[in-house]
Structure 1
Amino acid sequence: MSVNALPLFNKTRIAPTPSGYLHLGNALSFALTAALARKSGAKVLLRIDDLDQERVNDQYVQDIFDTLNFLGITWDEGPRNLEDYKNNWSQLHRVALYRDVLQQLKDQREVFACLCPRSQLKGGIYPGTCRNLALPLETPDTACRLYTDDRQLSVKTLSAGVAGTKLPEAMADFVVKKKDGYPAYQLASLVDDIHFGVDLIVRGEDLYPSTIAQQYLATVLGAAAFQNITFHHHPLVMDGDKKLSKSAGATSIKYLREEGKTATDVYREIGRMLDINENLSSFEDFVKLM
């Protein structure tokens, strides 16, 4: 987990989605992000990714604040409570920014309308059904997909420097606007990171394909600020051979708190699941591992 010769950064972010109660994997990501911020002099932004409005729940938003406070993790920028989040920090307040970027993509003729349901994906891969149909972009009940190719991309990482890569097949022609009219995650996350001046992104290794997709989108937009962001993809906390999910109640921080577990118990459990020999007992122990 140690990252040697850590450079200085301006800002990183903790960006949970309020679609369920947070689990041990979220706790790992939060602690690692805040520890790297401490070591690199970066400020921490709390950004709550809530554009999937059908799944947003006040209890899940409150759980974000409860979990961070329980773990002893502080942040410099972002909402302080549920009311502040709703009034000032929800992504709904930034919809105009996302739509401006979507309009840029339309003006550049980089997107196409797609009627395909998720069920048409073949092994998670889009077969290109609507790519050449030239459907009007404002066709009702359509998503907007980005035209993609196999261009060479690069990703700046803490552990390996600049890595060359190409867009994974599963990300071909990825969605930038959903059928409900809201921007898709890849677009909204990129716009937010640029808007808030983030230059270090810490996320699970399962999100590496999203990193590449967002780098691809940045090249299309000419967004040099995003292309210069440094990424760190951390190992996942696993439940046996499965990645933890927000439906796994027994690993939720809320459940563990209600069972009388302390923050020390949570940190030690994370260390055990990651096979870390050091005896983690607090956030400060995480900082020492960096």
Structure 2
Amino acid sequence: MQPRFNRTRIAPTPSGFLHLGNVASFVLTSRLARRMGARVLLRIDDLDRDRVDERYVQDIFETLHFLGISWDEGPLGLAEFEAVWSQVHRMEKYLAALQALRDQGVLFACSCSRAQIARAVTAGGYPGTCRDKGLSLDAPDVSWRVRTDLFRELKVRGVEAADFSGPLDGSMKDFVVRKKDGFPAYQVTSIIDDLHFGVDLIVRGQDLWPSTLAQMYLSGLLPGGAVFGDACFYHHALLEEGGMKLSKSAGATSVQFLRKEGRTADEIYGLIGQLMPGFL
């Protein structure tokens, strides 16, 4: 008997027009949901206020409708999204999570810029520059990072990870939970939203494996977060063209661009099938 789940989600970020990689992930999510009896939630991650654009939010709805990708819960249009479903309406929950982490003493303040970190660690990740400086969490222009050296053992989909220093997840060492602008970071908002909506089937690309590890770690620190460990995680292959992962920066792969070229929904799905064998 196949396992059955309560809810999954498609969670685009409105910082660019949706591209073929987004579509592939959404379709795979929808297929798994129907097979497993799960409801599909449309969750739009719009808390990165510097990058969010109303055009991109509208594009999400237009693209999903054009390609026939349906959802069971969530906003049906831009106005409803902004009035009810935007992440700004759940800010209190995110801030409570940050306070819970602060109360446990697992955070430290970091004043490093991205450029400074990039110069210190060419392979990515965080060099630990500020972890022992004792900077105040209330100081201006600091981010909050969680100490991952407290980590002991983690099991995700049967895979054990001893700590956050290995090659698989080095990018998540001492990861940011609150940005310098005071807004909670993605790892916090994503796990709080999944807990809030009761998501127990999480479908992501292989590139987000480190995020799953980070959120599993946070789940052990947050009140009520233990249930996150009971969720099922499915990490799918990425669409690639010429050895390069497709992203929003590749304008020619945006669904909007393809639609302006006159491509039909079937033709767009055909392109995805060429880039991801076995998709269709």
Which TM bucket (shorter chain)? over 0.9
**223-232 vs 174-183, greater mean Cα deviation:** 223-232
SS in 2 for 1:101: helix
Q: Would you say how many aligned residue pairs link Structure 1 and Structure 2?
A: 269
SS in 2 for 1:9: coil
Counterpart AA for 2:262: G
Residue in 2 aligned with 1:155?
156
Residue from 12, 29, 36 that aligns with 2:25: 29
Q: CA deviation at 1:6?
A: 4.1
1:245 aligns with 2:247: yes
CA gap of 1:232–1:256, structure 2 versus 1, over 3 A, is same
1:19 aligns with 2:21: no
- The two structures have a TM-score, normalised by structure 1, of 0.90
- The unaligned stretches of length 5 or more in structure 1 are 157-161, 281-290
Percent identity reads 57
SS in 2 for 1:231: strand
* RCO comparison, higher one (Cα < 8 Å, 6+): 1
Counterpart AA for 2:276: L
In 2: Cα distance, 1:19 partner to 1:228 partner: 30
Q: CA deviation at 1:245?
A: 1.2
Q: CA deviation at 1:273?
A: 0.8
Asked if the contact 1:43/1:76 (under 8 Å) is kept, the reply is: yes
Q: CA deviation at 1:135?
A: 1.4
User: Equivalences for 1:118-197 in 2 at 5 Å?
Assistant: 118-121=114-117, 122-123=121-122, 124-149=124-149, 150-156=151-157, 162-165=158-161, 166-167=163-164, 168-197=169-198
Residue in 2 aligned with 1:259?
261
SS in 1 for 2:220: helix
Q: C-alpha offsets along residues 212-238 of structure 1, whole Å, 9 cap, x if unaligned? A: 011111112251111111100000001
Residue in 2 aligned with 1:89?
85
Asked if the contact 1:143/1:177 (under 8 Å) is kept, the reply is: yes
In 2: Cα distance, 1:170 partner to 1:42 partner: 32
Q: C-alpha offsets along residues 174-226 of structure 1, whole Å, 9 cap, x if unaligned? A: 00000011000001100000000000000100000110011111112251111
Asked if the contact 1:12/1:42 (under 8 Å) is kept, the reply is: yes
Q: CA deviation at 1:74?
A: 0.7
Residue in 2 aligned with 1:117?
113
In 2: Cα distance, 1:49 partner to 1:265 partner: 28
**177-186 vs 221-230, greater mean Cα deviation:** 221-230
Asked if the contact 1:120/1:126 (under 8 Å) is kept, the reply is: no
Which runs of structure 1 show a deviation greater than 2 angstroms over 4 or more consecutive aligned residues?
A: none
Q: CA deviation at 1:109?
A: 0.5
SS in 2 for 1:270: helix
SS in 1 for 2:98: helix
Q: CA deviation at 1:275?
A: 2.1
In 1: Cα distance, 2:67 partner to 2:43 partner: 17
Residue in 2 aligned with 1:217?
218
Residue in 2 aligned with 1:159?
none
In 1: Cα distance, 2:80 partner to 2:237 partner: 32
In 1: Cα distance, 2:2 partner to 2:107 partner: 38
SS in 2 for 1:220: coil
Q: C-alpha offsets along residues 29-54 of structure 1, whole Å, 9 cap, x if unaligned? A: 00000110000000000000011111
Q: CA deviation at 1:272?
A: 1.1
Residue in 2 aligned with 1:55?
51
Residue from 87, 94, 100 that aligns with 1:98: 94
Residue in 1 aligned with 2:200?
199
Residue in 2 aligned with 1:287?
none
Asked if the contact 1:203/1:232 (under 8 Å) is kept, the reply is: yes
Asked if the contact 1:70/1:263 (under 8 Å) is kept, the reply is: yes
Counterpart AA for 1:210: S
Counterpart AA for 2:15: S
In 2: Cα distance, 1:170 partner to 1:274 partner: 26
In 2: Cα distance, 1:275 partner to 1:74 partner: 23
In 1: Cα distance, 2:67 partner to 2:31 partner: 12
Q: CA deviation at 1:129?
A: 1.1
